[in-house]
């Protein structure tokens, strides 16, 4: 379903990055964590926007969303 974003950028980004982060957020959202649900939705929608247009700025927005989600998860897991 998802395309490998690493093909169009110098930054390595693998499909499993999205899946790991997305699954962690989704599991927290299922456990009734509203912020995790919002972060998952933002990440998912930003990826869909980028895949739809292939615009460089939307790809960067997606990468920023992914990094923010990953940092939030790191703090949450402490």
Domain regions of the chain by residue span = 13-76
pLDDT in tens, the chain (78 residues): 334 444 444 454 555 678 899 999 999 999 999 999 999 999 999 999 998 999 999 999 999 999 999 999 999 888
Note whether 76 and 21 are within 8 A (CB).
Answer: no
> Running DSSP on this structure, what letter comes out for residue 2?
P
pTM for the structure as a whole:
0.75
Say how many residues make up the chain.
78
């Amino acid at each position: 379903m998802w395309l490998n974003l690493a093909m169009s950028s110098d930054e390595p980004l693998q499909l499993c990055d999205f899946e790991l982060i997305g699954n962690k957020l989704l599991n927290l959202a299922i456990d009734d964590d509203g912020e995790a649900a919002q972060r998952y939705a933002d990440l998912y929608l930003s990826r869909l926007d980028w895949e739809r247009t292939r615009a460089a700025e939307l790809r960067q927005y997606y990468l920023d969303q992914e990094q923010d989600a990953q940092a939030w998860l790191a703090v949450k897991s402490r």
